[in-house]
Every structure is written in C-alpha cells, then in structure tokens.
Amino acid sequence: MVSYNPACYLPQSWSSQLPNAIACPPPPSYFSTAYTYATSPFSSTYNTLRTMIDALLGLPMLSFLLIPTFSSYSTSLNLLFFYLTWSTLVLSHPPLRVEIVATLAVRTLFYILPSTFFLLFDALLPSAAESLKALGDTALPFKNASRERTMRTLRVLGWSVLNILLGVTIQALVEVLFTRVLLIRSALRVTTALPLPFGILKDLARGYLLREVVTYVLHRYALHESKNSLSRAHNEWYHSLSTPFPLAGTYDHPLAYLVRSFLPTYLPAVLFRFHLITYVIYMAMVSLEETFAYSGYSTVPTNFILGGMARRTDTHMLCGGDGNFGPWGLVDWIMGTSVGADVLDDVVAEADKHDVPARIDKMKSKAGKKVNGKIEDAKNVGGRRRTRRRSSS
C-alpha cells in the first residue's frame, strides 16, 4: 500500500529544500515499473503456494478424518490452526488463483517430481532398475538408446508436461466462463468453510466411480472403436510407445489427452462441485495412481490396487489397446473387456497371498469350539441343577 506524503504536492523548488527524510521520493523508473508488473504475479503465486502448503502440512489428515469419532486436544488445536491458515489464504487471494495454484502444486508434487525421480533412477542406474521392472530392459527408455530414440523420448516427456499445463489452463477457462461470463457459481467450492470428513469420503467414492465409467466409455468408444481423426491421433501418439515408463501417463495428442485423462478426472469434480480441499485430495490420489501405474515397476505400494493397475496398463499398451480401458479395471471386468488378469484375479491373488482361506477356516474352527464349549457348559449346569433337585427331594 502506497503511503500518503504531503511533500509530493509542494512545488518542486520547495520540495528540493526539504530534508531527504520527508522529501517526496522520485517516481519509479520505467524499468522498475516493468519489473514490478512482471514479477508480481509470480511473487503472489509463490506466497499463495507457500501458505497453502503450510496449511495442508499443518493438519494430520488421519486426525482430520477421525475428528468426529476420536477427538483430542491436540487434534482440535491442529484443526483450529488449519482453519485459521486456510481462511487467511482464501480471504487474502482470489479464488481462481488459489484453485489453479493448488492444482499445479498437487500435480507437481505427486506426479511430475516422483515420475522425474523414477526416470532419473532408470537412466542413471539401469542395471538396478532393470531388476525392478516388470518388463525388464524394454521399459528403460534411455538404456542403450540411440540419439534419435533419446530425442524422441525427450519429446514425449515435453508433451507430457505440456498436456498437464493444458489441462490446468482448461480448468482456469472453465472457472472464468462460469463466474465472469455466465455469472453463475464457480465449478469448485473455494470457501472458508471446511468440508466434513463424511462429505470428503462420499465425494471421493462417487467421484472415483464416475471417473472409472467415463474413462471406460470415452477411451473405448471415442479413442479405439471409432474411426475418426481423434482415434487415429491417439493411436499414432499414445500407442506409439511400446511400454509405459515414468511421465508417460499424460503423453498423448493434446485433444486425445483431454478426452482420455483430463475430462474423466475433472468432470466428476464439476458435477458434484467438490470443495477445493476435497479436490486437492482427489487429484493427489489420481496423480499417485498415474505415477505408479506408469512407473513400470513390478512391486509398488499397495500392490493389490496400484500393482493391478500397473499390470493392466502394461497389457493395454502391449496389446495395442484391445482391452483394459478403465484405470481400475472394474468396468472392464463387468463388460468382459479385460485382457490378462482382471480385478477379480487380483482379489483372489491377494487373498491367496495373505492365506485368507486358511485364516477363515481357523476362525471358523475357533468359533465352533467356543460354541461347543458354551453348549457343554450349559449341559453341565442343567445336569447339576437336576442332581440338586433329586438330592433335596
């Protein structure tokens, strides 16, 4: 904020005689003005991002989800600090800036940076990475690669990042269309009120379910079974990759990427009008899903979920898109378009891995023994009562 200085309204001859402490400062130069205009968006964006990260990191997510059930003094205090930080962030910055910066931060922290780390690991330590890859050295794009293949891989990585920026740009344009052209409420809720834990879980569940259905329909019928320029572009771009590798999850023709990935992910958030905090959690889960599904590693965290997704992604690319159109494989299993192991096979394999049938039989035997013991005790009590009655008579 610019302070008021009465000395600036005095004649120049008078102002020149005043001490420097109270004299009117000279106007800023054109270079200084241009520099301020050029850097102010970046500085404000950085401050927004820093405040948002401080707010999110200051709240234990598990405690937040369990507040209604297991509340404690420390949990309530953390929630209070988070609410104050979040309210300050929302009230001090435009909602559009908060939404776009949050989306970029999530995509960077949970997709671009981890995928880049995996890619550098594959490039710098190919022998160690090869033993971890499900498809061996064929999933190492830089191993023994010619100059032409290396340049092509770099172009793939560049288009992957550009597609992410394209999706964020479309998201910003949708918000501008809703709020400034159509004069209706925003696509996402950016408010100081925090969403309830049950509301977060409900939105995530129905958002993921709708995303699975929309992804399957668009991926199968618009990009594979239709004979149009968009499906040809998808086949020439995305399916030109022989195997998946880190950062390849967002590689595709820009229009095909919007249809295959961005629209199925963003549409549920708009239809159910997610709160921004819910949307941040949702995008973080989607980003981690894409990171590990396209990592190419045979062992990933939560191998039952992410491992099955990674195997279905590998199979989809290896078979040229003949099946496995959905990310989770649920609709593929229902529609009979699964290629290789389906989601039911993953459930059976996970059950066998943890020896679930033996555990169930063991629990049944324990329960049977307890029931038999209760019956025997009841019989013994009845027998003792009859003996007492006979002796008393």
CB neighbours of residue 232 within 10 Å: 14
Distances (CA, A) of 212 to 31, 100, 279: 52, 24, 16
- The larger pLDDT score, comparing residue 89 to residue 169, is at 169
Q: What does the alpha-carbon distance between residue 256 and residue 109 come to, in Å, rounded to a whole number?
A: 24
Does the residue 314 lie in any domain?
yes
Statement to judge: residues 24 and 146 lie in one domain: no
Does the residue 375 lie in any domain?
no
Q: What does the alpha-carbon distance between residue 84 and residue 47 come to, in Å, rounded to a whole number?
A: 16
Q: Would you place residue 56 in the very low, low, confident or very high pLDDT band (cuts 50, 70, 90)?
A: low
Statement to judge: residues 3 and 124 lie in one domain: no
Q: What does the alpha-carbon distance between residue 291 and residue 306 come to, in Å, rounded to a whole number?
A: 10
Give the lowest-confidence range in 57-61, 85-89, 242-246, 267-271.
57-61
Mean pLDDT of 55-71: 49
Does the residue 322 lie in any domain?
yes
> Which of helix, strand or coil describes residue 174?
helix
- The larger pLDDT score, comparing residue 260 to residue 71, is at 260
> Which of helix, strand or coil describes residue 190?
coil
Where do we find the tokens 């995928």? 115
Does the residue 384 lie in any domain?
no
Q: What does the alpha-carbon distance between residue 355 and residue 232 come to, in Å, rounded to a whole number?
A: 46
Does the residue 211 lie in any domain?
yes
Distances (CA, A) of 69 to 58, 75, 197: 20, 11, 11
Statement to judge: residues 150 and 248 lie in one domain: yes
Statement to judge: residues 125 and 30 lie in one domain: no
Q: φ, ψ for residue 19 (rounded to 5)?
A: -65, 155
CA-wise closest residue to 122 among 290, 246, 300: 246
Statement to judge: residues 199 and 341 lie in one domain: yes
Q: What does the alpha-carbon distance between residue 139 and residue 159 come to, in Å, rounded to a whole number?
A: 19
Does the residue 72 lie in any domain?
no
Tokens representing 176 are 């501008």
* Domain housing 29: 1-46
CB neighbours of residue 280 within 10 Å: 20
**86: Cβ contacts below 8 Å, ≥ 6 apart:** 55, 192, 194, 277
Statement to judge: residues 164 and 290 lie in one domain: yes
Q: Are the beta carbons of 280 and 82 closer than 8 angstroms?
A: no
Number of domains in the chain: 2
pLDDT of 305 over the 90 cut: no
Does the residue 303 lie in any domain?
yes
Statement to judge: residues 222 and 309 lie in one domain: yes
- The larger pLDDT score, comparing residue 171 to residue 306, is at 171
106-157: pLDDT as tens digits: 999 999 999 999 999 988 888 888 888 877 777 788 887 788 888 999 999 9
Q: What does the alpha-carbon distance between residue 245 and residue 12 come to, in Å, rounded to a whole number?
A: 68
- Largest Cα separation within the chain, whole Å, is 130
3-state secondary structure 203-240: HHHHHHHHHHHHHHHHHHHHCCCCCCHHHHHHHHHHHH
pLDDT attached to residue 268? 97
> Which of helix, strand or coil describes residue 281?
helix
327-356: pLDDT as tens digits: 888 898 899 888 876 666 666 666 566 554
Statement to judge: residues 170 and 288 lie in one domain: yes
pLDDT attached to residue 65? 47
Does the residue 393 lie in any domain?
no
Q: What does the alpha-carbon distance between residue 257 and residue 332 come to, in Å, rounded to a whole number?
A: 20
